[in-house]
């Protein structure tokens, strides 16, 4: 590895650590705003407590990424950490910033606050858990790093995401629920990489070809105001972005909702678009089982969050 590449990796790790601190700061600000009406906003405070607890653990994890270890991380794992772990934190930071701004402006309703907070926390928890698994595998070659990581534990939030997805699919599309349950069984019941690759493609199929192609076909989303206003040739016009966005937002005008809600919708649509590509590549070409599992867990998180926002925007969220 060249000296310039080593510097680039060290700089990305430095930025990652700074983002964690900034996320904690935003969570504190949101809690202070929510406490002004503690009874109504108690749910937001609870979500921010969860987020800060996870982020404090991630600070410990981040400190293990010393230059001598970072320089030796295999390229496939580094690309995952850079694109899925570090970048997801940046996106989450923007999400909590947007939520805090809306709360300062009092431009949102409580239900919007709660759901946006929940999606950010869920995304953060999944990212933390997946990144931790990858780093734990790397730490097997570095005893001090391994000793530190063994002191930190993250909840397996993907199990909660599975149950929530099942619950929502039972309500909106029972046929998709049966196929989804088959995918979950395929992913959890085997250590065979080839079967996991196949299950990942099946997850892509049930989300995009069964759910989104039915509920959010091109003939629907291309009629919306937000699609017509999107700049041509951008991600915002892409099919795999527009389908999950329509799944959540439908024909609503973006101006009818707080900016934090729209930012969350766009963030989750972008995640699902990226997951479509990730599932396609790992499923067809094969790949490290740890990366397959990480893609699976993160796709579940994004899909669960899409369902949460869809329910909130349709007024069906309990």
Based on the fold, state whether residues 128 and 216 are members of the same structural domain.
no
Under DSSP, the state recorded for 237 is G
Is residue 296 located within the same domain as residue 276? Answer: yes
The structure's pTM equals: 0.84
Q: What is the pLDDT of residue 50?
A: 87
12 and 92, same domain (yes or no): yes
pLDDT higher than threshold 70 for residue 246: yes
Distance CA 290, CA 79 (A): 13
Point out the domain boundary residue: 130, 149, 168.
149
Q: Which domain holds residue 196?
A: 157-314
Of 149, 170, 190, the residue that ends a domain is: 149
Average pLDDT over residues 290-306: 92
What's residue 151's pLDDT?
Answer: 87
Q: What is the predicted pLDDT for the residue at 281?
A: 92
- By mean pLDDT, which of 175-179, 230-234, 238-242 is the weakest? 230-234
Both tokens of 171, joined, read: 């309500």
What pLDDT is stored for residue 191 in this prediction? 63
Q: Do 10 and 76 share a domain, yes or no?
A: yes
Closest to 151 in 3D by CA, of 61, 244, 259:
61
Cα distance between the two ends of the chain: 52
Average pLDDT over every residue of 291-298: 91
The pLDDT, as a whole number, for residue 258 is: 86
Shared-domain flag, residues 233 and 306: yes
pLDDT of residue 129: 83
**How confident is the model over 37-92, as pLDDT tens digits?**
655 577 788 888 988 998 999 999 899 999 989 998 999 899 988 888 888 888 88
Token couple for 8: 């680039």
The whole-number pLDDT of residue 108 equals 47
Say whether both 47 and 99 belong to one domain.
yes
Nearest to 266 by CA among 242, 239, 232, 297: 242
112 pLDDT more than 50: yes
> For residue 243, what pLDDT is reported?
97
What's the pLDDT band for 107 if we cut at 50, 70, 90? very low
Same domain, 78 and 117: yes
Q: Mark whether 310 and 161 lie in a shared domain.
A: yes
Verify that 172 and 129 share a domain, yes or no: no
Domains contained in the chain, number? 2
**163 pLDDT higher than 80:** yes
Residue 312 CA to residue 250 CA, distance in Å, equals 12
CA distance 194 to 186: 11
In the predicted model, is pLDDT for residue 11 greater than 80? yes
Domain end position, chosen among 149, 182, 202: 149
Is pLDDT of 306 > 90?
A: yes
Name the average pLDDT for the chain: 87
What are the two backbone dihedrals, phi and then psi, of residue 156, each rounded to the nearest 5 degrees? -85, 80
Pick the range with the lowest mean pLDDT from 102-106, 145-149, 181-185.
Answer: 102-106
At residue 178 the predicted structure's pLDDT band, cuts being 50, 70 and 90, is very high
Average confidence (pLDDT) over 265-278: 95
209 lies in the same domain as 68: no
Checking if the pLDDT of 159 tops 90, the result is: no
Q: Which pLDDT belongs to residue 3?
A: 84
Confidence of residue 131 (pLDDT cuts 50, 70, 90): confident
Nearest to 89 by CA among 298, 307, 304: 298
Mean pLDDT for the stretch of residues 161-175 = 94
pLDDT bucket at 189, cuts 50 / 70 / 90: low
Residues 122 and 20 in one domain: yes
- 128, 35: one domain: yes
The predicted-structure confidence for 198-228, as pLDDT tens digits, reads as follows 999 999 999 999 999 999 999 999 999 999 9
Share of the chain above pLDDT 90, in %: 43
């Amino acid at each position: 590895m060249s000296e310039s590449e080593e510097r680039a990796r060290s700089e990305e790790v430095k930025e990652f650590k700074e983002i964690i601190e900034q996320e904690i700061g935003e969570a504190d600000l949101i809690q202070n705003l929510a406490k002004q009406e503690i009874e109504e906003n108690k749910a937001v405070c609870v979500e921010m407590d969860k987020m800060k607890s996870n982020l404090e653990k991630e600070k410990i994890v981040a400190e293990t990424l010393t230059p001598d270890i970072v320089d030796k991380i295999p390229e496939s794992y580094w690309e995952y950490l850079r694109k899925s772990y570090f970048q997801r934190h940046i996106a989450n930071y923007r999400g909590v910033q947007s939520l805090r701004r809306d709360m300062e402006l009092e431009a949102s309703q409580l239900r919007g606050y709660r759901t946006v907070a929940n999606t950010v926390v869920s995304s953060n928890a999944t990212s933390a858990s997946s990144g931790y698994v990858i780093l734990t595998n790397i730490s097997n070659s570095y005893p001090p790093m391994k000793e530190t990581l063994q002191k930190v534990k993250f909840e397996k939030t993907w199990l909660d995401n599975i149950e929530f997805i099942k619950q929502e699919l039972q309500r909106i599309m029972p046929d998709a629920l049966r196929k989804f349950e088959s995918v979950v069984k395929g992913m959890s019941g085997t250590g065979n990489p080839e079967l996991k690759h196949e299950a990942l493609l099946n997850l892509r199929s049930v989300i995009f070809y069964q759910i989104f192609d039915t509920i959010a076909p091109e003939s629907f989303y291309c009629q919306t105001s937000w699609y017509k206003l999107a700049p041509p040739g951008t991600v915002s016009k892409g099919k795999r972005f527009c389908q999950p966005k329509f799944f959540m937002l439908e024909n609503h005008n973006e101006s009818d909702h707080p900016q934090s809600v729209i930012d969350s919708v766009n963030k989750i649509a972008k995640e699902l678009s990226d997951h479509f590509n990730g599932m396609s590549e790992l499923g067809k070409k094969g790949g490290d089982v740890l990366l397959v599992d990480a893609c699976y867990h993160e796709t579940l998180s994004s899909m669960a969050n899409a369902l949460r926002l869809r329910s909130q925007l349709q007024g069906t969220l309990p």
